[in-house]
Amino acid sequence: MLTFNDVSLDYGSFRALHGINLRADEGELVVLLGANGAGKSSIFRAASALTRASAGRIRLKDVDLVGKRPAEVVRAGVIHCPEGRKLFPALSVLKNLMLGAYPHRRDRAGNRTRLDDVFGLFPDLVKRKDDPAGALSGGQQQMVAIGRALMSRPRVLLLDEPSLGLAPLVVKQTFEVIQRINRAGTTVLLAEQNAHAALKIAHRAYVVESGRIVLEGDYDSLAGNEAVRRAYVGG
């Protein structure tokens, strides 16, 4: 579904990604593990065209994403749920969610159905739909961020550190929802520092260090691996 072939990315004179090769097959849940600053978010920025890759190819099935504008990538079906949620705090929960539906704004019936699906995943948001997003707890704000991404009807959902700053119980609930989204047919690429929790739900994982893929495997091959330990503790 989504492939990176020898992708590099630069921020000015700094090379953040070095020849990245990875794939997320249709229906897979693939995890990127790595410490803060390892390059996980840069992989997502390259995929969503927020930063243009300096070299290599990024493809969504047969569509070449390199050189496209971010809005074109969204319309193609690659939806980026960023680290830090990036909500509009003064707008209501409902308005934040509906902003995700903007690419499909003419399909009112489809958007109503999609909104019902989001509220089904996150029933806590129903009673808070008219509240400002900034008044919600961290866990509820993450629900809104994921829900907004789902309103864009992703073929591939990029989730960047969804567990960051959340209480353990909320992390568990968030990962359960991610599994439900994936089992419903959405391909998910998940960037996480919480290696233990992420590996439990992933089909496959890549370990990212200093802008390079250093390891690939499933839970059995990666659990307890020294490179994974470094990615988890950041050392």
Residue ranges of alpha helices (H) inside the chain are: 40-47, 70-76, 93-99, 108-121, 138-151, 168-183, 195-201, 219-222, 226-233
pLDDT at 235 over 70: no
pLDDT at 233 over 80: no
The single residue listed with the structure tokens 């004179």 is 13
* Fold classified for 1-24+33-77+189-235: Rossmann fold (3.40.50)
pLDDT band at 31 (very low <50, low <70, confident <90, very high): very high
Q: Tokens representing 195?
A: 């290696």
At 163 the pLDDT is 87
Q: How far apart are CA 204 and CA 183, in angstroms?
A: 15
Nearest to 22 by CA among 206, 196, 200, 174: 206
Summarised one tens digit per residue, pLDDT across range 192-220 is 878 888 888 999 999 999 999 998 988 77
Q: How far apart are CA 200 and CA 231, in angstroms?
A: 16
Q: Tokens representing 91?
A: 């707008």
pLDDT at 25 over 90: yes
